[in-house]
Structure 1
Amino acid sequence: MKLKVFKILIAGVFITSNLSAQTSVIESIKKNPNKSFSYAELSVKEGGKWDGNKYIGGTFKNIQELTLPESHTDHSTYIRYEGIGLENNQIAYRLYLDWRNATDIFGKKVNTLVLPEVGQDGFESYHHDATWGQDVLKSGRTIGVGSYGRYDEQNDFVETFKIVKNTTVKVVNEKEQSYATINYKGWKTWGDAIDLQSKLTIFNKDRFVKVDLNLSNTISGLCTGIVAIKNIPLKQGISQNKKWAYIATYGNQTETKKDDNLGMAVFYPLENFDKYVKTKSTHTIVFKKTKNVSYYFLGAWSLEPNGLTTEESFYQDLDKKLEILDKNNQL
């Protein structure tokens, strides 16, 4: 049977939807609940209408590709859980597809697929405890964990994506990995505008996401980092051959109001490392002037099934990964 691909252009919004492919991925994962999986998702409303920066009415539909409409911003209620989703058996993440560009963590209490149901009943529900888990990280006005921006040294601040000519995103699901590619055309911070492409890949194992950044021109200040939570100390590690390093935090730094713990880490190649900066709100890794860089980030929630329940086990896991990166240059 030949699959039908629908391409829709509505009010300047380009949408590509392969309904059969999207449905088959979800069905395949659900039919094999004990099998490891990876999953990438993008879901927007259709059948409603724009009223200024708000999308009124409509129902959510999974799609594969989207050019963001000019009206879209934070809390537009247009994209389900406000961005792309990445998930495997152990954890799920979302990256906001608006000026914030932050990465958030969905802590899971089950090892089955949850993202297709998250946010279907509103934009507030996933902030509260559910049978599957919940949003566990309060990113605030930061890049969250492992997202990217540009460090403004004069103002000691990480600049995000407030000025972009247009943004397109695509999600892809493969056998052992799933990923989202995001193209930012005309990203303006200071100096000339540039184009940036990011690729965020989650695998059917472990908790980490690989981030590949490619820019049209070299810039200084390209950075990543971790939201700095009050009273939570930062730890750093360097591999034996000084090829890779990490920054990490661990402790009661969730928004669940429970007796739980969350670990977060960013692994970065030392050949691209310029400096570490602690801004008011972010532990920041600033890269050397570059056109491309790859790194990894992860989160680990203590209430995850068979998860890392202590600070000791969390840092043991990070050190093992650091050793692998030192030997293989990849996880």
Structure 2
Amino acid sequence: MLAPLLGTCGLALMLFSCGGGDQATTSNNDVATTDETIRTNIRLAKRNAQNEFVEGTEFIRDADHVGQIMPARYQNEGPAWENENIGFRMYWDERNGIDIHGKKVRDMVMDTVGLDGNNYHEMSDWGMDVLKAGNSLGAGSIALMIDGEVYRIGDAREEKITITEEGAERSAFLLEYNGLEIAGRTIDLDWNISIEAGTHGYESTVTATGLTGGESLIIGIVNLHSDTLYTVEKEDRFVAYTHGPQAEKEYYLGMAVSVDEADFVDHGELAPEAQPVASTYYVRAKLENGKPVGYRFTAGWAPGHPEFERREAFEAVIQ
């Protein structure tokens, strides 16, 4: 069910934290996980002819990489990003979903997660993949709504990813979807994703051109194991979130989307049998031609931060 609007939570919480073909620019400066000053990281690597994952800073997605390919052509099936508290990965194909890597350690681990023989679906010393996404938008992925119909954005004429920043306190990358043929429109869409140290999520900015009217942005939260969406007005932002034993192995997990109230349109739910996106709570935001719209996604996994077994504790860290 959809819960009624709640008052802003004033709970203060102190959580511990440390401090056609590919065109690729390769890098040999993998982030060292032993350096305590490194608190953000992006892993972007592709399998080469020697069956090894080689890190890069820029790729154009292979034209035939539309459906899921196994063994994975890209480490983690696409880009992975993290800070000391939480990690994420994207299925860089037509699914275009985002998954969560729950972390029990504060050092950077995504460079080695997703290697062959590394089963991130089972608990390890660093943590595990915590989310079952199915055909949903997962952990804050996006789609377009045009005149009431939902459209995925995972299959464009050309899709490019570029790491734009990778530092100790902040890292960011840009996804470019060029030539999306949707509802009689040809749309180009830029999706910036960044993560900062000390937070429990990531921030995104979406800019689309080629819009002709009737378009809006939807940002999703998978609801395969949740039946309640909580809504909050918090510091001039609209927040929608879930909380409960909804992670793999029934661990407690909170997931939240927030947008500026000025950009908020409405929120809703896509049913389990819906196509092309199913089992998703969504927040809908305004989308104007050439104008950036932003949102934040927050995730709290209790094995990494036991405070998040309490819904009030998770709500307190949502930005």
* Alignment partner, residue 44 of structure 1: 46
Write the letter of the residue equivalent to 1:201. S
> Looking at both structures, which has the greater relative contact order when contacts are Cα pairs under 8 Å and sequence separation is at least 6?
2
* 1:153/1:276 CA distance change after superposition, 3 Å: farther
2:94 and 2:134 map into 1 onto residues whose CA distance is 13
Identify the structure with the greater helix proportion.
Answer: 1
Give the equivalent residue in structure 1 for 2:252. 261
Q: Does 1:65 align with 2:58?
A: yes
Say which is worse superposed, 174-183 or 298-307, in terms of deviation. 298-307
The residue number in structure 2 matching 1:148 is 142
Q: Deviations over 1:10-54 (max 9, x none)?
A: x722111132xx33xx12xx3423x35111110110115xxxxxx
TM-score calculated relative to the size of structure 2: 0.84
Q: Secondary structure at the match of 1:70?
A: coil
Give the structure 2 partner of residue 195 of structure 1: 188
> What is the CA-CA distance between 1:162 and the residue it aligns to?
4.6
The SS at the match of 2:182 is coil
Q: Percent identity?
A: 26
Task: Report the Cα distance in structure 2 between the residues aligned to 1:148 and 1:289, rounded to whole angstroms.
Answer: 12
Higher mean alpha-carbon deviation, 105-114 vs 308-317, is at: 308-317
Cα deviation, residue 152, structure 1: 5.4
1:277 maps onto 2:268 in alignment: yes
Mapping for residues 158-173 of structure 1, pairs under 5 Å: 158-171=150-163, 172-173=165-166
1:81 corresponds in structure 2 to: 76
Runs of 4+ residues deviating >6 angstroms:
none
State the one-letter code of the partner of 2:35.
Answer: N
Matching residue's letter, 1:170: T
Map of 1:208 onto structure 2? 201
Q: CA RMSD in A?
A: 1.9
TM-score, structure 1 normalization: 0.81
Match of 2:115 in 1: 120
CA 1:154–1:204: 2 relative to 1, 3 Å: closer
Structure-2 separation of matches of 1:91 and 1:125: 18
1:230 CA drift (Å):
4.0
1:315 maps to which residue?
315
Say yes or no: does 1:248 pair with 2:241: yes
Q: Which whole-Å CA distance do the structure 2 matches of 1:185 and 1:97 have between them?
A: 15
Equivalent residue number for residue 302 of structure 1 = 302
- What displacement does 1:154 show? 5.0
Would you say the 8 A contact 2:266–2:285 is kept in 1?
yes
Unaligned runs of 5+ in 2: 1-19, 272-278
What is the number of equivalent residue pairs in this alignment?
286
Work out the CA distance in 2 between the residues paired with 1:16 and 1:317: 36
Distance 1:174 1:206 in 2: 15
Q: Which residue of 2 aligns with 1:15?
A: 24
